[in-house]
Amino acid sequence: MKVLIACYSYGGNTLKVAEELKKNLDGDLTKIEPVKDRFYLLKGWGALREQRAAIKPCTTDMSDYDALVVCCPVWAGKSPAGLNQYLDELQNVEGKKLGAFVTMGGNGNQKATIQIREALAERGMEFLGQMKISGKDLKSGNYNEMVETFAKKFQDA
């Protein structure tokens, strides 16, 4: 199964986990980057209001892939505006498998994985699973097992 890992990462935490995941899967990694950086409060506000923000060109066409893993940091409990834009720009997703993971500073409730799942289930993707890496997990570097378990869902599908 060929997997596209689409990663939004501002500070590098999510990218680190995405790179670990890539070691466990046959696939490619594409980076989702906003055209413009926003101030901290505007990042949070944009996420909270489920806004969109322009992104640089990256892989959005799923034709060559069987599955997609979308990953991002949690901002104000939700997904970054640039990530929302990426979901809108995705093409040829129908019938493909989907996974999502987030990294976050805390370990509380978050809506980002739900947003990803709902937006893409509506477009015919089949959700295989999700993962949340907390600030504590990131600090201890103790997430390899979680990543392996998550990857297995795609290896077995």
Ligand X SMILES: Cc1cc2nc3c(=O)[nH]c(=O)nc-3n(C[C@H](O)[C@H](O)[C@H](O)COP(=O)(O)O)c2cc1C
| Binding site residues, ligand X, CB under 6 A | 9-15, 40, 43-44, 73-77, 103-106, 108, 138
Q: CB of 113 within 8 A of CB of 130?
A: yes
Nearest residue (CB) to ligand X, 39 versus 63: 39
* DSSP label of 10: S
Q: How far is CA 101 from the centre of its chain?
A: 5
Nearer to ligand X among residue 124 and residue 135 (C-beta)? 135
Whole-number minimum distance, CB 139 to ligand X, in Å?
10
Closest residue to ligand X in the complex (CB):
11
Q: Is the dihedral of CA 25, 29, 43, 78 positive or negative?
A: negative
Q: C-beta of 41: minimal distance to ligand X in Å?
A: 8
Rounded to the nearest 10 degrees, the angle between the axes of helix 144-156 and helix 13-24 is 50
Q: What is the DSSP string of 80-129?
A: -HHHHHHHHH-BS-TT-EEEEEEE-SS-S---HHHHHHHHHHTTTPEEEE
Of 76 and 128, which has the nearer Cβ to ligand X? 76
> What is the closest distance, in whole angstroms, from the C-beta atom of residue 156 to ligand X in the complex?
27
Q: Closest distance between ligand X and the C-beta of residue 100, in Å?
A: 14
Measured from the CB atom, the residue of 15 and 70 that comes closer to ligand X is 15
